[in-house]
Amino acid sequence: MDIIKAVIPAAGLGTRFLPYTKSLPKEMLPLLNKPAIQHIVEECLKSGVNNFIMITNKSKYALEEHFDYNLELELILKEKDQEKLLSGIKKIIKASRFTYVRQYEPLGLGHAVLMAKHSIGEKEYFGVLLPDDIIIHEQPGLDQLIKIAKQEKASVIAVQEVPAECVSAYGVISIKKQLTPKLFQVSSLVEKPSQKDAPSNLAIVGRYVLSSKIFNSLEEIGTYAQGELQLTDAINHMAQNGEKVFAYKVQGTRYDIGTPIGWIKAIIGTALQNPSYAGQIREFLSELDTPQSFMFNNSKNISNKEL
Ligand code: UTP
């Protein structure tokens, strides 16, 4: 079973990050010097996936620009002997194939995934990565799921434990069978349950490996709960119609950059893990306790190194 394609739904409205997201994509929010979407694409490439189907809308042109050559800039950098500043992103562009599909109306995550139907083969498994969710771990989140999908020959969704009082913010799995401490067979999914109705505290995070059968489920559901077609409803439909669906406790630190506070945490978290930045960030954070020294000491130069 080869898994070489990833669908990246990026056509949401980003209401939690307005007004920034009025005209700019949140997927281009930087984590240090790389936009979030580049982290997602790098996670895929490290997982053996290099064929990308990005679901976009009219305010997302910057995503296409980022994964394209900029010959004028390259020429200027060449004259200054600074070509290597673009070598990382050029390598990514060379190694990848990008297809952009428009979702004309934001009719939900399920609808966004359905837009990719014509780019996926009839009996193919593919990754889905929500670019709001940044997962940092030595073994990329998608790679962890691909291993399980190959082993079980079935769809797999990523989950993480959340405190019981937070379950109502997530989709949560109901467990049919626990196979290992990290692997579960799913009987159903419940979207944003109340704490007392939650079947577990294993919340769905934004990584999936899905069978192309998901498209039949999305089409069969056809109804739009509160105006949206939900991916969780379609996965539920698959699980309840004889398709095995597994959940895997994905390893890593997860940041939800869909809100300003989540994005700030992601920047600080990634900076603290990066030897080029960690020392100065720690120093800066400790200086915040003594505001005067912070005011006079905030112009240190951090070099433009790749993450
Ligand atoms: P979210 O609900 O987390 O993101 O959707 P959003 O809709 O962009 O932001 P808020 O909630 O209004 O702040 C999860 C993922 O699904 C995509 C989003 O772009 C995000 O990556 N999505 C959602 C679509 O592509 N199309 C949709 O119609 C809805």
* 69-93 pLDDT per residue, tens: 999 999 999 999 999 999 999 999 9
Measure Cα distances from 147 to 154, 248, 254 in Å. 11, 10, 20
Superfamily of domain 5-258: Spore Coat Polysaccharide Biosynthesis Protein SpsA; Chain A (3.90.550.10)
The least confident of 41-45, 133-137, 206-210, 301-305 is 301-305
> Is the CB of residue 262 below 6 angstroms from any atom belonging to ligand 1?
no
| CA of 57, closest atom in ligand 1 | 25
> Is the CB of residue 132 below 6 angstroms from any atom belonging to ligand 1?
yes
Q: How far is the CA of 117 from the centre of ligand 1 (A)?
A: 18
Q: In degrees, to the nearest 5, what angle opens at C-alpha 103 toward C-alphas 99 and 105?
A: 170
> Is the CB of residue 193 below 6 angstroms from any atom belonging to ligand 1?
no
- Computed from CA positions of residues 205, 264, 28, 107, in that sequence, does the dihedral angle turn out positive or negative? positive
| CA of 55, closest atom in ligand 1 | 25
Give 217-266 pLDDT, tens digit per residue.
999 997 766 788 999 999 999 998 999 999 999 999 999 999 999 999 99
| Rounded CA separation 262/267 (Å) | 9
- Protein residue with its CA nearest to atom 9 in ligand 1: 14
* Cα radius of gyration (the chain): 20
Percent of the chain beyond pLDDT 90?
88
> Is the CB of residue 110 below 6 angstroms from any atom belonging to ligand 1?
no
Task: Give the single-character DSSP code of 302.
Answer: P
Q: How far is the CA of 118 from the centre of ligand 1 (A)?
A: 21
Question: With b meaning 16 or more CB within 10 Å and e meaning fewer, what string describes 87-116?
Answer: eebeebeeebebebbebeebbbbbbbbbbb
Q: What is the pLDDT of residue 303?
A: 53
> Is the CB of residue 140 below 6 angstroms from any atom belonging to ligand 1?
no
Q: How far is the CA of 307 from the centre of ligand 1 (A)?
A: 26
**What's this model's pTM, rounded to 2 decimal places?**
0.93
Q: What is the pLDDT of residue 189?
A: 93
Q: How far is the CA of 255 from the centre of ligand 1 (A)?
A: 15
pLDDT (average), residues 276-291? 89
